[in-house]
Amino acid sequence: MIEARLSSVQRRTVARAGLDDIADKVVSEQRLSYEDGIRLFASPDLAAIGALANLVRERLHGDLTYFNRNIHINATNVCEASCIFCSFARLEEGMPAAYTMSIDEAVGRIAALQDAFITEVHIVNGLHPGLPFSYYTDLLRAIKAARPDLHIKGFTAVEMHYYAQKYGMTYAQVIEALREAGLESMPGGGAEIFHERARRKLCHDKVDAEGWLEVHRTAHRLGMRTNCTMLFGSIEKNEERVDHLVRLRELQDESLAARATDPSKGWFQTFIPLKFHNENNRLARLSAPTGHDALRTIAISRLMLDNIPHIKSYWIMLGQDIAQLSLSYGASDLDGTVREERIYHMAGAQTPQELTRNQLIHLIRAAGRIPVERDTHYNVVAEA
Ligand code: V47
């Protein structure tokens, strides 16, 4: 969109950081290797890495910066899995702070927003051992009946895998049944870190990397667009972050190749690096990831994921300041207004529960970018 060039000052910064050869690849649109990713994570030179990521961001999107108006529904936090980074889940019904919404209650939260303009509901739930599959299809149908205009993005690959096992269905059957009830796209949660060593420590009893990728592969094959994530800043090593990014890139290559022959296929729309929050969970002993780490992870993600259109800075967990700065380090999306977020707030996030449309627009404009309100599929709702 914008000619990809580094200024002479940026060239010198990159050279001083010893990243000249990587810069050459970025400028000439060559794919970065796993080893390049390792070198980028080994470099403390955020200015150099940021300049390269910004070049890619502007080549793809110019100054355009996307957001939407959405609400999160976490219908239950009862969850059989024992992920050690999670502050949201409760193992069983009846434990302190455990909850499961009735369908009426969940729909009531959306119906209460009749006047507030939103375009998307984001649904993520715990792995509840006692609910029938019909709870989820009824929930989707009831939301669609109350607000047919809303796009429903919901159910992580972890949930889909759990339902497949629990209710004796294939991934495709789970996805089709949820879609039939109103599901339109999938969020990127549950990917955490794919590498076996880190995954065993973080979340040994939920879907493994292959399963997570297979659910998204199936969704793409069935024509559904999905997102992808990486939980960074807990116990993973830099090599494991790069491995994670490369595995996502490989699946996206497959999905885009299928799409080249059949445009009805799905793909990853956006990658969301999720910054670890260390309160009220079993990793509270760890230091919180720094702003420097957040910005370089966003920037390196932009550089490595050359086939995923957007890098989303989820302001809820990054904080507004880092999310805004990230718009110069590779990010092209700020997620949305996000009402009623629970997963991060139970883990200590200090951000508000909601930003208004005007507040998001202010953050974007003050960073010298152009705000664009989008729907879930990145159609323009309004140029702000
Ligand atoms: O998978 C849980 C993460 C994810 C913590 O697709 C934590 O548009 C940090 O996937 N510290 C769920 N992270 C949220 C998610 C998401 C969010 C926004 C947009 C989209 C999208 C997806 O939250 C989980 C896990 O990786 N998480 N606990 C924690 N203490």
- Do 233 and 288 contact (CB within 8 A), yes or no? yes
Of all protein residues, the one whose alpha carbon is nearest to atom 2 of ligand 1 is 86
Of all protein residues, the one whose alpha carbon is nearest to atom 12 of ligand 1 is 189
Asked if residue 85 has its Cβ within 6 Å of ligand 1, the reply is yes
Of all protein residues, the one whose alpha carbon is nearest to atom 28 of ligand 1 is 86
* CA–centroid distance, residue 127 to ligand 1 (Å): 15
Asked if residue 343 has its Cβ within 6 Å of ligand 1, the reply is yes
Q: What is the mean pLDDT of the chain?
A: 94
* CA–centroid distance, residue 326 to ligand 1 (Å): 18
Residue 112, pLDDT score: 75
Of all protein residues, the one whose alpha carbon is nearest to atom 17 of ligand 1 is 189
Per residue in 260-307, pLDDT tens?
A: 999 999 999 999 999 999 888 899 899 999 999 999 999 999 999 999
* CA–centroid distance, residue 191 to ligand 1 (Å): 9
Q: Please provide the DSSP assignment of 41-53 as one string.
A: HH---HHHHHHHH
Residue 296, pLDDT score: 98
Whole-number Å distance between alpha carbons of 328 and 57: 8
Whole-number Å distance between alpha carbons of 276 and 284: 10
Cα atoms found within 13 Å of the Cα of residue 64, Cβ hemisphere only: 17
Per residue in 83-125, pLDDT tens?
A: 999 999 999 999 999 999 999 999 998 877 766 688 999 999 9
Per residue in 35-65, pLDDT tens?
A: 999 999 999 999 999 999 999 999 999 999 9
Asked if residue 77 has its Cβ within 6 Å of ligand 1, the reply is no
Whole-number Å distance between alpha carbons of 215 and 379: 25
Locate tokens 């060039």: which residue? 5
Predicted TM-score (pTM) of this structure? 0.96
Ligand 1 atom nearest the C-alpha of 86 is 28
Q: Please provide the DSSP assignment of 176-202 as one string.
A: HHHHHHT--EE--TT-S--SHHHHHHH
Of all protein residues, the one whose alpha carbon is nearest to atom 8 of ligand 1 is 187
* CA–centroid distance, residue 284 to ligand 1 (Å): 17
Residue 102, pLDDT score: 97
Asked if residue 227 has its Cβ within 6 Å of ligand 1, the reply is yes
Average pLDDT on 355-371 reads 94
Quick one: what percent of the chain has pLDDT higher than 90? Answer: 85
Asked if residue 190 has its Cβ within 6 Å of ligand 1, the reply is yes
Asked if residue 203 has its Cβ within 6 Å of ligand 1, the reply is no
* CA–centroid distance, residue 360 to ligand 1 (Å): 20
Per residue in 160-211, pLDDT tens?
A: 999 999 999 999 999 999 999 999 999 999 999 999 999 999 999 999 999 9
Quick one: what percent of the chain has pLDDT higher than 70? Answer: 98
* CA–centroid distance, residue 274 to ligand 1 (Å): 6
Residue 255, pLDDT score: 98
Name the strands in the sheet holding 333-336, side by side, starting at the edge strand that comes first in the sequence.
333-336, 64-68, 370-374, 380-383
Ligand 1 atom nearest the C-alpha of 316 is 18
